[in-house]
Amino acid sequence: MIRPLSRTALVLDIVGASLLFALFLPMSLVFYSPGQLSTTVAEPVAVAAVVIAAVLQFGAVAVGRLAPGIALSVAWLGAIVQLLAGLGPLPINVAILGVLYATAAWGSTRIFWAGLGSAVIGGIIAALQIVFVNGMAGVFGIITTVVALTVVSVLTLGAPWLGGFGWRMVLRWRATRDAQARAEVAAAEEQERVRIARDMHDVVAHSLAVIIAQSDGARYAAASSPQIAAETLGTVAQTARAALSDVRMLLTQLRHRQGVGPQPTIADLEQLFEQVRQAGLEPRVTVDPMPPGEPPGAVQLAVYRILQEALTNAIRHGSGDTVDVRLAWMPDSVRIEVRNRLGDATAAPIGAGGHGIVGMRERAQLIGGVLRAERDGEEFVVHARLPIGEPFHSGPAGAPVGGTASGEETA
């Protein structure tokens, strides 16, 4: 298996392997006394075997990161040449340590375990070669010497493999961390798209409800009062322009990761109430107590969107001329109540098959609040409680925010 590797990294590996070859080959040739390089073949053959083994083993080092499996095979071929020539361990064998590191660090699962097996088998073969071919039985007996050399050889070859295994774990941890970071970014983007879709629903549903109500009024007034019909059509056009502006802003946010454009706040509630009045429904707003300062932006947005959806439902499904809106700004929370008389009692429940009530509930839950929307006799009531989460920022004392003063109702 050939791994993707940059040209710079490959050149560095080749240059590094070449330098090691130039350093360790002369050391290997003078490692033994003249004429004692090998006990089984002639000196020229032994020298040629050393050169060939060095080329193969350091060549394996050069491609260790690029193709760990090929590198392991080439290193074994060099080791076999060395064994057939009757050569014992030589300084050039440091290349084998680099190849074993590469198999553990960058090899596939099969190459990973092949590297471990090579360390064990190579250690055993090296110990037998030293004892039986090179005649180094030692003073402790053949068996004891073989066992001792096997342990030393396996540990020597296994150490770089363990080092490669450690680096493999580091690379896997980095990959997991990067994948988690990408997943978090994707989740955040998905949440942003869901928020924008929810905003789009609120804007379009509210605006269309106002436009439909105004259009019906203009149609009925066209014959008897053309002036009123013209004013009503002007209101329809104004509402449509505002909705188009909001939709464009949301689409701009959808195109860019960072949302641009202002979000509605409780300062925009009066404009919302005016749109509801123009649709023929009078909101009787009570704000008691008033907010002592400026609430957090997320709370203001949630209050606005919940009231927008609740009033839209009142326009579409209500039967009365009024809708009661109550806001209570407590030190640690804000409480919302919207109450309106229902129309046809046999009609489908508000929100059946739609997303309005679900969207209101999600908005409340998003900032840790709760919302209930239910029928109460002949009325439909929306209750919400949203936590503030932190003290208000200082603001103009006593300034009305989105409604009338404490305890008062709009006309």
Interatomic CA distance for residues 295 and 394, integer angstroms:
9
The C-alpha atoms of residue 247 and residue 200 are separated, in whole angstroms, by 7
Q: Find where tokens 């329809």 sit.
A: 236
pLDDT of residue 326: 95
pTM for this prediction: 0.55
Mean pLDDT of 348-361: 62
Q: What is the pLDDT of residue 315?
A: 84
Q: Which of 131-135, 244-248, 337-341, 375-379 has the lowest mean pLDDT?
A: 244-248
- Mean pLDDT (the chain, rounded): 80
Rounded percentage of the chain residues whose pLDDT exceeds 70:
75
Q: Residue 251's pLDDT band (boundaries 50, 70, 90)?
A: low
pLDDT at 184 over 80: yes
- Reported confidence tier of residue 399, pLDDT bands at 50, 70, 90: very low
Which pLDDT value is given to residue 259?
45
User: What is the distance between the alpha carbons of residues 13 and 15, in angstroms, rounded to a whole number?
Assistant: 6
Of all residues in the chain, what percent are helix, strand and coil, respectively (each to 5)? 65, 10, 25
Tell me the pLDDT band of 103, cut-offs 50, 70 and 90.
Answer: very high
User: Quick one: pLDDT at residue 243?
Assistant: 67
pLDDT per position as a tens digit, 357-389:
877 888 888 788 999 999 888 889 999 999 986
